[in-house]
Structure 1
Amino acid sequence: MGTCGHTFCHVCISQWVARQSTCPTCRMRTSTEDFRPISTRIVLNQLERLLMKCKRCNKTHIQRGNISEHEQQCPNQTVSCPAFNIKCP
C-alpha cells in the first residue's frame, strides 16, 4: 500500500514507478520505497481467497492460499533430474 492509500501488486507497482514515479491511480509523486506490504488481516484473508489458474496444468478455481499445495500435487509439475550435476544426457 502506498502513502496515498492505493494498493497494487508489488511487481506491477515496481515496474510502474520505475517508469513514472507516480501512483497510477492519483498521480501523487512516489517511489518504490513508499509502498509497503499489506498487513491488515481482513485484506490478507480476502487475497488468499482469490481464485487462480495453474500455469502448468490449466486447472482453474484454485484459491491463492492453496496454490502451493496444488503445485506439489500438480500432474505437470517440474521435476529436476537427480543426475543433472553429472550432465546426464
Structure 2
Amino acid sequence: MAYEGKYLLVNYVKHNSPAPGEVKGYKTAWTENDLRTMLSDLLTKSNAWEEYFGNVGPAQANIIHYYKYKTTTLDSAVSNVNRYRELCR
C-alpha cells in the first residue's frame, strides 16, 4: 500500500527507498489474506507501518475502518455509469 505524500508513485512501484520493499510493498494484486494480515499487523506490530509503507515514521493510527463492497464486473460497472448518465440528462 502506498503512503500519500512520502514518496513518488514510481518509487513505490519499483520498491525504491523510502518506499517499502517487495515483500509487503507494491503488489499488482492483494489477496483477501494479504489485506487481513496487513490490517492486523498495522494494529499490533510496532514496526508494521515501516514494513508496509516504507520510511514514514511510527504508527499513524489506533483504529482502521474498512468496508467490503460487492464485487462487480467491468461490463456491469460501465452499464451502471451509462444508466446514471441517462438519468442526469
| Larger RCO, structure (CA 8 Å, separation 6 or more) | 2
Larger relative strand fraction: 1
Task: Give your verdict on TM over 0.5.
Answer: no
Instruction: Using structure 2 for the length normalisation, give the TM-score.
Output: 0.26
- Larger helix proportion, structure 1 or 2? 2
**Who wins on radius of gyration, i.e. which is larger?**
1
